[in-house]
Structure 1
C-alpha cells in the first residue's frame, strides 16, 4: 500500500508491507515520510514529517449476513457474490501527521493507494500538524500479501 501526503507538491510518501497483518488485529504505524522510495536518495536524509495510521484486515465471516450500520456507514460483514474464500476488508484509519515540512502554504491531505484503488482525506488548510481521523475500507478478494 502506498501513502503519499501533500497538496501541490508531494510532501512525502511511504509504503507499508501488508503481509505481516494478522486478521482482526489492528496495527498502528508511525511512518517517516520519504521524498522517494529510493533508500539511497539523499533527499530522504532530511525529515519531511511523520504520519500516524492504523491498519486492520477483517476477513469476511462465512454465512454471516449482518450489515453493521450503527456508525452510519454500511460495513459489509458478508462476502459479496463472487468473492473467493479468504476475502475481507482492509480498513485504513488515517489519524494525523506531525512536523510536516513547509512554512506557510501547507494544505496537506493523505492519498491512500491500494491495488490501484485510491482514497483521499480532506485537505486541512495551513497546518503542519493536521488531524484527519478518517477511515477508508478496501475490499479484498483474498488476504493482502504484499
Structure 2
C-alpha cells in the first residue's frame, strides 16, 4: 500500500518504509562509509526507525561477507557484512535482507548499518546523534 508521501506499507501491516528525504553520511576512521540521498527509513511496530541505504552507496571495498545470518519473523533472513576500514574491522556492522517473506517488503539492494558502530552520522551536512523520526 502506497501513500502520497511516499510511504509503502508491507502486506503484513507491521513494517513500512519511506524516503529519508535528506542526504545521509556516516564516517568511520576518517573514511566515508555511506553517503546517499537515496536512503529509506524503515518503520516497524514496537521499534525505533532504522535507516537503510542502497548497497551501491556503501563502497564495496569496505564490505566483507560475514558468516552471520539471523532471521526476523517480519522480514526474513538477514545476511551480514563486516566493515573493513583501514586497520579497523567492525564485525557484523551491516545487514541486508536479500530475500524477503511473501508478506514483507522487498529490501534487497538495501543494507543497514549499526548506528553505534560508526564514528559520526550526518544529515544534509549537519551532525546528528540518532535517526530522525520524520
| Shared fold (TM-score, shorter chain, > 0.5) | no
Larger Rg: 1
Structure with the bigger RCO (C-alpha within 8 Å, sep 6+) is 1
TM-score normalised to structure 1 length: 0.28
